[in-house]
Amino acid sequence: MNDLRADDARVACPLFQAEYGGSKPTSALQLAFSETSMEVFRVLNKQWHSRLPEATNCFEGLHFCASHANLYYAVAWWSKPISCTLNGLGWFELRRFAIADDAPKNTASRMLAWMVRYIRQRKPEITKLISYQDTSCHSGTIYKAVGWTPVDKGHRVRWGVGNGRKRNAIVADGKKIRWEMVI
C-alpha cells in the first residue's frame, strides 16, 4: 500500500497537506488520539491486526485512532463485553487493538492510557474496563504499563463454540488472560 495516495485508508486527512512535513513520529508522545469512524477502524484493523483482522460486527461501541502528520498508526474498538454474562454490569471491553509496524515505541500503552481517560470522562456509566490477551502472541506488557490487573490467567476461551458460528482454528482456541481496570 502506498502511504502517500490521497485515497489511501491510512491517510487521515487526504484533502489537506500534512503540517509536519510528512515525517514519521519518533516518539509516541507525538501521536494525536481521537475517535474515528467504524470504516477507518475496519480497514486498518484488517491490515494490522495480528490474529483477528476481520471485524465485521463492530457496529456499536467506540472506535479510536492514533495519528501523526495525517497518517494513522493505530486503531482500537471498544464495546459491551462479548460474553453475554458480563453485559449489564457497566463493563466495556477492548475488542480489537491494531498497530502499524512503523508506529513508534510505546504507542500501544500510551494510546491505551488515553482511551481509559477518554472513556472515564465521557462514559460515566462504565465502571470497569476489560480486555483479553492472547498468550500465544502477546505478553501483556501494555496492560502492565498502564496499571491494569490480570484476573483470569490461563483461561481457555473458545470464541464462537456452541453458537453455530464457524471460526478459524488458528484464532478460535487458545489460552487468554483477562485484564481489568476499575475506573
Residue with cell 453485559: 87
pLDDT value, residue 27: 93
pLDDT tier at 2 (50, 70, 90 boundaries)? very low
pLDDT at 87: 82
6 pLDDT band, cuts 50/70/90, is very low
pLDDT at 44 over 90: yes
DSSP for 43-79, written as a single string = HHHHHH-SS----TT--SSEEEEEEETTEEEEEEEEE
Interval 139-183: pLDDT, tens: 889 999 999 999 976 555 544 444 454 545 444 456 889 999 999
The pTM score is 0.78
CA atoms in the 13 A half-sphere facing the CB of 149 = 6
Residue 141, SS3 per DSSP: helix
Nearest to 98 by CA among 64, 129, 123: 64
Q: What residue spans define the domains of the chain? A: 30-182
pLDDT at 152: 74
Position with higher pLDDT, 95 vs 139 = 95
CA angle 156, 160, 163 (to 5 degrees): 125
Mean pLDDT in residue range 13-32: 71
Contact (Cβ atoms closer than 8 angstroms) between residue 92 and residue 86: no
- 100: which residues sit within 8 A by CB, 6+ positions away? 10, 44, 47, 48, 72, 73, 74
Strand-by-strand arrangement of the 173-182 sheet: 32-35, 62-68, 71-79, 91-99, 128-134, 173-182, 149-158
| pLDDT reported for residue 161 | 44
Q: How far is CA 126 from CA 27, 110, 131, in A?
A: 30, 20, 14
Question: Which superfamily, per CATH, for 30-182?
Answer: Gcn5-related N-acetyltransferase (GNAT) (3.40.630.30)
DSSP summary character for residue 144: H
Supply the pLDDT for residue 159. Answer: 46
Whole-number pLDDT of residue 103 = 96
pLDDT digits (tens, 9 = 90+) for 52-92: 656 666 668 999 999 999 999 999 999 999 888 888 899 99
pLDDT in tens, 121-151: 999 999 999 998 888 777 889 999 999 999 9
